[in-house]
Amino acid sequence: MQHQAKKRFGQNFLIDEMIIDRIVDSINPEKDDCIIEIGPGLGAITKLLLQSTRELHVIELDRDVIPKLLFNCRDQGTPVVHEMDVLKFDFSTFRKSTATQKKLRVVGNLPYNISTPVLFLLLNSRDDIQDMHFMLQKEVVDRIAAQPGNKTYGRLSVMIQSYFKVTPLFLVPPHAFSPAPKVESAILRLVPNDTYSYRIKDHKLYEDLIRQAFTQKRKTLKNNLKNLLTSEQIIAANIDPAVRAEELSIDSFLHLYAQLS
């Protein structure tokens, strides 16, 4: 069954079988996993996940695509469909409602216009997640994986790296989709990691600090953080108040956070 891609949903359907196989191999699904796929589309990845796992849930906003998704998956099984906006899905409550309450494995092809909000939503459910595999625009993956001093290093980089091990896996060219997007995509793996997060006792306070630090990237920490920290407190964290946020490592941000908490 065919489906006309809708621009308002940012739909680009994966059609390259080699790329599809490579993505599923990277996920490495097992039969006892509880997998949630965001934006399954016509089921290119869903079909293969159904062959390997007993509990597969999909979140799909486009009601017109759902019958075609189920039709395309009919030989492998039937995923549980949640017809809704992913930004309204409560991952933590959902985990508590499952029979095994196993940690969730989240996968999906995230449209550019919602990728950052979805990542921050999942960040808030990090304790309920085993791992995540996403297809994103390459520039978003570059931002997430960026290191201090890189022009793409920012709030998204710091927040995700503070809680997850970030592993860019491989690129996906435009011709792997129908319709072909105008940009390259990339596959990203995120795994919860306590290397830094054990030092963060108040997530909201830490999030406020990072947001404020990057409010105006051209301004110094002294200016951006004036409502949170004094210059003396910044110096006490062994940081020069005249530097910009993009120059700081996550460890440095945690020293600033310690001054707050």
| Each residue's pLDDT tens digit, 33-82 | 999 999 999 999 999 999 999 889 999 998 989 999 999 999 999 999 99
Could you identify the residue written with the tokens 């390997």?
52
DSSP H or E run through 178: strand 177-178
Confidence band (pLDDT; 50, 70, 90) for 6?
Answer: very low
* For the chain, domain boundaries: 7-195, 203-260
Confidence band (pLDDT; 50, 70, 90) for 11?
Answer: low
Q: Which of 39, 183, 13 is nearest to 114 (CA)?
A: 39
- Strand pairing report for 164-172 and 129-137: unpaired
CATH superfamily assigned to domain 203-260: rRNA adenine dimethylase, C-terminal domain (1.10.8.100)
pLDDT digits (tens, 9 = 90+) for 181-230: 788 999 999 999 999 999 999 999 999 999 999 999 889 999 999 999 99
Looking at the DSSP bridge assignments, the partners of residue 129 are 104
- Mean pLDDT of all residues in 171-183: 87
Enumerate residues 6+ apart whose C-beta is below 8 A from 152.
139, 142, 143, 146
Distance in angstroms (rounded) separating the CA atoms of residues 116 and 139: 12
The one-letter code for the residue type at 105 is R
**Mean pLDDT estimate for the chain:** 92
DSSP H or E run through 131: strand 129-137
Between CA 252 and CA 257, with CA 254 as vertex, the angle to 5 degrees is 120
Q: Which two tokens stand for residue 70?
A: 């189920």
Q: Which residue has the higher pLDDT, 168 or 12?
A: 168
Task: Inform me whether the pLDDT recorded for 32 exceeds 70.
Answer: yes
Confidence band (pLDDT; 50, 70, 90) for 247?
Answer: very high
- Please give the torsion angle defined by the CA atoms of residues 233, 236, 240 and 245, in that order, rounded to the nearest 10 degrees: -60
**Could you say which architecture CATH assigns to the domain 7-195?**
3-Layer(aba) Sandwich (3.40)
- Mean pLDDT of all residues in 250-255: 97
Query: For the range 212-221, what are the long-range contacts, defined as Cβ-Cβ under 8 Å and sequence gap of 24 or more?
Result: 213/155, 213/245, 213/248, 213/253, 213/256, 214/154, 214/155, 214/158, 214/245, 214/246, 217/154, 217/244, 217/245, 217/246, 218/244, 219/244, 220/244, 221/245, 221/248, 221/256
Give just the sign of the alpha carbon dihedral 204, 168, 14, 184. positive
The one-letter code for the residue type at 172 is V
The one-letter code for the residue type at 212 is Q
Looking at the DSSP bridge assignments, the partners of residue 58 are 37, 81
Task: Inform me whether the pLDDT recorded for 3 exceeds 70.
Answer: no
